[in-house]
Amino acid sequence: MSIRIAVIGTGIMGWAHARIVAEDMPGAELKVVCDADFSKARRVADELGASDVSTDASTIAAREDVDAVIIASPDATHPTLCLETIRHRKFILCEKPLAPDVKGCLEVIEAETAAGRRLVQVGFMRRFDPSYVEMKSELREGVVGSALMLHCVHRNVSAPPDFKGFMAVSNSAPHEFDIARYVLDTDIAAISVFQPKGFDAKTVAPIFMVVETTGGQLVNIEVNNNAGYGYDVRGELVGAAGSITLAAPIHTRVNADLASFERYPVDWIPRFADAYRLQNKAWLRAVQTGSWHPDAASCWDGYWASLVAEAGVKALETKSRVQLNAVERPPIYA
């Protein structure tokens, strides 16, 4: 029997999720697409063949013709929609962040804990990206010895008009915080945030973070939301006996005008196309079998990303190193 899926939010991410459900997830059916803007939902439904369209996200979880829900509406809607869906004991793939703040994450954790089982996967899709997966498995196999440092770079072409400076930490960097925890298999102890001098104060400035893990490794993260030239995510893990560098999925190399070059994607969708697809398929398997993929990000991982982000924003504002204090991990996330 097909798993009937509702996608809430049909913007950039919701459209991408709906397309994966409709075209790349055998065993799943795109049942409902929901957007506060009817015309957007209608367009996606018509393009991808969804059976129904809704503008009221609060009614989705209760529908008898919906088995599982993908939440891709704005950040602020995530905790309420998760709580409602958990109340109906349905599986959720919630785009990152789990909630816009730590308090919201803890509320979802509390509801999931009360439900007695994991129902939520958070959309930290890099955990399914073949380059990060390979980096982690090479590290586990001891190819470069023990991990010492992780260098991360996250660059966008340009920040959206409503993007504020602190969002480099709270909105972009959580992917880096999560992937550092995932690859290094450790938690985070402290964060410091720096900004270079000389940037245009009217634009969103680059941010340079130093994250200390509980295992003693150092992670440096550059986020530049106005890099201009393309969407570019880089990573290098430095071990005691070598290093592992991420390779982006490049399919062609252009030779022209006395030059040889590769093109950058304009945004994250092409760079992480495989990761989104593999993430969603793993989630579908969890919905079908009740058993989670070991790499799937849980609410606990969502909580950690928000915890580091909140500490990072404080570090940016106070220009000081901020230590992290996590709550005790509930047993369902062991």
Nearer to ligand NAD, 235 or 239 (CB): 235
What the block records as the tokens of 130 is 């073949």
Binding characters for ligand NAD, 39-78, by CB under 6 A (x = yes): -x----------------x--------------xxxx-x-
Question: Whole-angstrom Cα distance, residue 173 to residue 193?
Answer: 11
Among 9, 165, 206, 265, binds ligand NAD (CB under 6 A): 9
Residues 245-284 interacting with ligand NAD (rule: CB under 6 A):
268
Nearer to ligand NAD, 139 or 182 (CB): 182
Q: Any contact of residue 235 with ligand NAD (CB under 6 A)?
A: no
Q: Which stretch binds ligand NAD (CB under 6 A): 5-13, 62-70, 133-141, 144-152?
A: 5-13
Binding characters for ligand NAD, 82-111, by CB under 6 A (x = yes): -------------xx---------------
Total residues contacting ligand NAD by CB under 6 A comes to 23
Question: Whole-angstrom Cα distance, residue 233 to residue 152?
Answer: 8
Q: Which stretch binds ligand NAD (CB under 6 A): 7-15, 85-93, 201-209, 312-320?
A: 7-15
Question: Whole-angstrom Cα distance, residue 119 to residue 291?
Answer: 10
Angle subtended by helix axes 102-115 and 78-87, to nearest 10? 10
* Burial class (CB within 10 angstroms; exposed 0-12, middle 13-18, buried 19+) of 289: exposed
Cis link prior to 174 (omega < 30° from 0)? no
Closest CA to 328 of 308, 302, 300, 309: 300
Asked if 78 and 94 count as a contact pair (C-beta separation under 8 A), the reply is yes
Q: How far is the CB of 79 from ligand NAD (least distance, A)?
A: 11
Residue positions counted in the chain: 334
Where along the sequence are the contacts to ligand NAD (CB under 6 A)?
A: 8-14, 34-37, 40, 57, 72-75, 77, 95-96, 123, 125, 268
